[in-house]
Structures are given as structure tokens and as C-alpha cells.
Amino acid sequence: MKNRTHKGHTPTVILAERNSRIRRFLEREFRSEGYCVVSVGDGRELRKAAQSTAEPDVFVIDIEVPYLEEGLLDSHGNLALHPLIVHALMPEAAHLVVLAQAEAVVEKKADPSSLKQTVARLLACDDAQSSSSSSEIEKCSPFPLSQEPKYES
């Protein structure tokens, strides 16, 4: 297991996945990479986890979880969870407006490597922006956090 830190603590991934087998698999994968993981099966649980977890560092969501919008959006209809990575079978077919606010969209595959790499890269970029290290921020330039989501496959 890797020893990861982000902002002085072990990074926490909140994982929302409707399929319990995939959820358990991804939970094991992220834990083996050194992350704390809170996994949920629907949008209502996602909202509760986001509110009860001290410092969630990244949200990885399956766009097909039930009650997704209840978990993602605040009372004004704005995205309430950041940073957000959407994990979808067919990201190009996703029709949710909220995807435009996601930091990344990663296609679901049997091998979770691209998802894990995207999470690690997102956290590294966040650390670089927090510390204002220009050399680290330059490494993040292929992964713009403020622009349209980057599709990973």
C-alpha cells in the first residue's frame, strides 16, 4: 500500500457507484493506492457522505447512480461537490449539464488505471496550485481544472 498525503493528511475519495461489485472493486483499488475511501450507492448517500466526511479531497461518481442530482446539486441547482471526476461507461453519451463542471470524465474499463491516474493527477495539481509552485503547475497544464472536462479513456 502506498503512503499518500494531500494537504497534510491521507486523501479521501468519496466514491459513488451504483453497482456494488464495481464499488467494492474500486474501493479496494483506491485503498491499495493509499487513499481513504467512503463509498456510497446513490445520490442521497453521496450528499450525506460529503456532509459527514471531514475533508473529502475528490469525488468519483458513476453518472448512473440513483438520485444523482440530489447528491450533486445544491438548492440553487449548482454543483456542490468539488473536485468531481465522472466515471462513466460512455462519457461521450452523457447528457447531464453537470458534466461541464466536472474536472474530468473517465471511461469505465475493466482496468481502473486511468481512473486512479486521473485522481492522482487531480490531487497533485491541487497541491501545486495550493503551494503556488510554478514548476508543478506547468506539469498540470495538460489537465486544466477550470476548462471543460478532460475525457480519459
Q: How many domains does the chain have?
A: 1
Please report the pLDDT score of residue 4 as a whole number. 64
Round to whole Å and give the CA distance between 103 and 149. Answer: 5
Round to whole Å and give the CA distance between 135 and 130. Answer: 13
Q: Which of 41-50, 118-127, 134-143 has the lowest mean pLDDT?
A: 134-143
Q: Could you write out the DSSP letters of every residue in 84-97? A: EEEEESSGGG---G
Round to whole Å and give the CA distance between 24 and 76. Answer: 32
Q: Which of 24-28, 89-93, 99-103 has the lowest mean pLDDT?
A: 89-93
Nearest to 68 by CA among 52, 53, 84, 55: 84
Q: Does any domain span residue 4? A: no
Q: Does any domain span residue 33? A: yes
Q: Are 60 and 87 in contact (CB under 8 A)?
A: yes
Read off the amino acid at residue 38. Answer: V
Phi-psi domain of 80 (left: phi exceeds 0; alpha: psi -120 through 50; beta: other): alpha
Read off the amino acid at residue 96. Answer: L
Please report the pLDDT score of residue 148 as a whole number. 43
Q: Does any domain span residue 107? A: yes
Q: Does any domain span residue 6? A: no
Q: Does any domain span residue 7? A: no
Please report the pLDDT score of residue 14 as a whole number. 97
SS3 14: strand
Domain that holds residue 49: 12-152
* pLDDT of residue 139 exceeding 50: no
Q: Is the pTM of this model over 0.85?
A: no
CATH of the domain at 116: 3.40.50.2300
Q: Which helix (H) or strand (E) holds 105?
A: strand 104-107
Neighbouring C-beta atoms of residue 13, cutoff 10 Å: 24
Q: Does any domain span residue 55? A: yes
Q: Does any domain span residue 5? A: no
Q: Does any domain span residue 3? A: no
